[in-house]
Amino acid sequence: MKKLNLIMLMFFAFCFFGSKAQTYKADDVVGIWFNEEKTAKIQIFSEDNKYFGRIVWMKTPLDEETGKPKLDKNNPDESLRSRPRMNMIIMKNFVFDKDDEWESGSIYDPDSGKTYKCYMKFESQEKNQLNIRGYIGRAWMGLGRTSYWTKTTL
């Protein structure tokens, strides 16, 4: 009888604490987002059930030294250093999961030329602030940076 009570208690605890109703839809993340510094706007879009982000606006689109559009001059791949930053895809391959997160993606920082593993999730039910977490290694290890993006328009 004690075993049955324990099993029932564990079952109800799982049902109460373990199951979480999904709050968001996969496409809720689609739209235009200001980065935290308000220096760029990124358009998040869906393609083949994955999510990507491209730069669609920059506060300072011209290189101060040359007066020409900013290029990806810090890219570790020398052949990519001449590509323009405007319309560059900096977020790739995010997948929406059952825990209301978009995960398994990567984010590229054109200022440093580095690419990080990344996940994103909403900060609140209003869906107007996105928590972007870029990291090295495993997400739970704490080696990374979180940035908060704000929903905007073009």
Residue pLDDT, tens place only, 30-46: 999 999 999 999 999 99
The structure's pTM equals 0.82
Domain ranges of the chain: 21-152
pLDDT at residue 48 is higher than 70: yes
Q: Is the pLDDT of residue 77 over 90?
A: yes
The dotted CATH code for 21-152 is 2.40.128.520
Please, which pLDDT band fits residue 23 given cuts at 50, 70 and 90? Answer: confident
Chain segment 86-132, per-residue pLDDT in tens: 999 999 999 999 889 999 999 999 999 999 999 999 988 889 999 99
DSSP 39-93: SEEEEEEEETTEEEEEEEEESS-B-TTTSSBPB-TT-SSGGGTTSBSTT-EEEEE
Q: How far is CA 142 from the centre of its chain?
A: 16
d(CA 6, CA 13): 10
